[in-house]
Chains A and B, each alone.
Chain A
Amino acid sequence: MKKRIGVFICHCGINIAGTVDVKETVKELTKHQDVEHSVDYVYMCSEPGQNLIKEAIKDKKLDSIVISCCSPTLHESTFRKAAKEAGINEFQCEIANIREQCSWVHKDKKKATEKAKKITRSAVERVLKNESLEPISFPVTSRALVIGGGIAGIQSALDIADSGYEVILVERDPSIGGHMIQLSETFPTLDCSQCILTPKMVEVSKHPNIKLMTYSEVQEVSGYVGNFNVKILKKPTYVDPEACTLCDDCTEACPVVVPNEFDFGLTGRKAIYIPFPQAIPATFTLDVKNCPGLLPIACGKCADVCEPEAIDFDMKPEIVEEKVGAIIVATGYDQYDKEKMKEYGYGKYADVLDGLQFERLLSASGPTLGKVLRPSDHKEPKEVVFIQCVGSRDPELHCSYCSKICCMYTAKHAMLYKHHVPDGQSYVFYIDIRSGGKNYEEFVQRATEEDGVVYLRGKVSKIFEENGKITVWGADTLTGKEVEINADMVVLAMAMRPSKGSEELVKKLKIGMDKDGFLTEAHPKLRPVESLTSGIFLAGAAQAPKDIPEVVAQASGAAAKAISILSQDQLFHSPMVAEVKPNLCTGCGMCVDVCAYDAISIEEGKAEVNRVLCEGCGTCSATCLRAAVQVKNITPGQIHEMIEASVGG
Chain B
Amino acid sequence: MTKDFEPKIVAFLCKWCSSAGSDLAGVSRMKYPPNVVPITVMCSGSVSPLYIFNAFQKGADGVLVSGCHPGDCHYIKGNFYARRRIALVKELLDFIGLEPERFKMSWVSAAEGTKYTEIIKDFVKDLKPLGPQKKLRRDL
Judge: A and B partners, yes or no: yes
- Chain A residues with CB under 8 A of B25: 100, 105
**CB-CB contacts of B8-50 with A at 8 A, as 1s and 0s?**
1010000000011011111101111110011111110111111
User: Which A613-644 residues have C-beta < 8 A from chain B?
Assistant: 615-619, 621-623, 631, 634, 636, 639-640, 642-644
User: Which A98-116 residues have C-beta < 8 A from chain B?
Assistant: 99-102, 104-108, 111-112, 114-115
A532 to B19, CA, bound (A): 17
Decide if A596 is an interface residue (CB 8 Å cutoff).
Answer: yes
User: Which A546-562 residues have C-beta < 8 A from chain B?
Assistant: none
Number of interface residues, chain B, beta carbon within 8 A:
48
User: Is the Cβ of A646 less than 8 Å from the Cβ of B42?
Assistant: no
User: Is the Cβ of B78 less than 8 Å from the Cβ of A596?
Assistant: yes
Decide if A586 is an interface residue (CB 8 Å cutoff).
Answer: no
User: Is the Cβ of B37 less than 8 Å from the Cβ of A118?
Assistant: yes
Knowing A100-B23, A617-B78, A646-B37 are in contact, say whether A105-B43 is a contact too (CB < 8 A): no
- Chain B residues with CB under 8 A of A119: 37-38
Chain B residue nearest to A623 (CB atoms) is: B81
Checking A106, A108, A114, A643 against B58 with a beta-carbon cut-off of 8 angstroms, the contacting residue is A643
Decide if B125 is an interface residue (CB 8 Å cutoff).
Answer: no
Checking B34, B38, B42 against A617 with a beta-carbon cut-off of 8 angstroms, the contacting residue is B42
Decide if A195 is an interface residue (CB 8 Å cutoff).
Answer: no
Number of interface residues, chain A, beta carbon within 8 A:
50
Q: Which candidate, B69-77, B91-99, B100-108, is the interface stretch facing chain A? A: B69-77
A615 to B74, CA, bound (A): 10
User: Is the Cβ of A648 less than 8 Å from the Cβ of B76?
Assistant: no
Knowing A115-B34, A647-B60 are in contact, say whether A634-B42 is a contact too (CB < 8 A): yes
Distance (Å) between the CB of B115 and the closest chain A CB?
14
A616 to B59, CA, bound (A): 29
A621 to B75, CA, bound (A): 14
A114 to B36, CA, bound (A): 11
User: Is the Cβ of B75 less than 8 Å from the Cβ of A647?
Assistant: no
User: Is the Cβ of B26 less than 8 Å from the Cβ of A99?
Assistant: yes
Chain B residue nearest to A638 (CB atoms) is: B39
Distance (Å) between the CB of A346 and the closest chain B CB?
30
- Chain B residues with CB under 8 A of A510: 76
Interface CB pairs A-B, < 8 A, 18? A106-B33, A119-B38, A510-B76, A576-B42, A594-B45, A596-B76, A615-B75, A618-B41, A618-B42, A618-B46, A619-B43, A619-B78, A622-B49, A634-B46, A636-B50, A636-B51, A647-B37, A647-B55
A interface list, Cβ under 8 A from B: 71-73, 97, 99-102, 104-108, 111-112, 114-115, 118-119, 122, 510, 512, 514-515, 520, 524, 532, 576, 594, 596-597, 615-619, 621-623, 631, 634, 636, 639-640, 642-644, 646-648
